[in-house]
Structure 1
Amino acid sequence: MEVHIGKRIAEIELVSKDGNKVQLTIDGKPYEVDVVMAENGICSILHDGQSYNAELIKSEGGKNYRVNTHFSSYSIDIVDSQAKYLRTRKKEEDKQDDKIVSPMPGKIVSILVKEGDKLSAGDTVLVIEAMKMQSNFKVTSDCSVKEILVKEGDSVVNDQVLVKLELSSTEEM
């Protein structure tokens, strides 16, 4: 997940968790910490023999925190994979690619088209469930379904091609 700490952006990945022992990477660098959450958002972290205490104050939205330590205060925004994907997808929504690709691991819930179907901009092609959320995958321009490479119930991985499309030529001379 992407974490914004003031103006800094860090990529954090949870590797494993066993009780209070947590293994994670921050920008690719591995860390092993012992984390204890106490009442009222107080957090005690033990790392390399050093003890750190912080107060976590959650915002109403749930993905933003105010973190207070003895000497500093930080604003932290958590951008999970789904939110990051949706933000990227909105930026690229104007461009229709010749395929639909899974942005993350998930499960095909439904396929709403069949090979040869002619699609108009905005038509939903399939629905994927990832992290207990369903996402509709729509085309952004006129095209037709060339090949469907998955079926309902399939598990898919990140960057897997799901459907191949044939783009309609809209340029007239």
Structure 2
Amino acid sequence: MRNVLVTLAVAACTLLPTGLAAQEKLTPEGLPEFLAAYDQNFDPIEALYTELIEGQLPLRDDQGQPLGRRPLEDRRQALSDLREAARQLSRSPQDLVLTAKLVLRTESLADDLFDLSQIAYDNDREEQGRRLSDMQITMDHNKEALANYLLDLAGKQHERIQELEKENAELQAKLKAAEKK
């Protein structure tokens, strides 16, 4: 029964409109709504991590070498950190550093989910592999939307800096002209 619930939760989240259509653009005004939908992906991922731990998915090869990039507990902490960064960005949608952090951590999560899906497939756990792949695809879409938002935000901030530098140069010129009089 629990697996059915987890499967339904993952399926529902992968169908949620957390990715944006190509013609839609993520804006500072729409970011909190996007991030609220984005946040709904974390519980199913956490449930998948728990299932992997309880199911004792082998994360080492025959020689004892790690198959994944890091242990599941580290991945859980990274997931928690990602969720907190998303909440912080929701409160401060113009924060360029938080946006960059979220893009990079979302990409890392997508990579982790890909690694785990391959391990699941290699261990004949097709259902887990499929669910992990579905979540990885969702995270890739989210990362793309956030990366485009980051580029737009950086472009706007760069334009504003150029405007301020121009105004500063004009004021400096006026100040020098006033001092000469």
TM-score w.r.t. the length of structure 2 is 0.24
Q: Which has the higher contact order (CA 8 A, sep 6+)?
A: 2
Name the one with the larger strand percent: 1
Q: What is the TM-score normalised by the length of structure 1?
A: 0.25
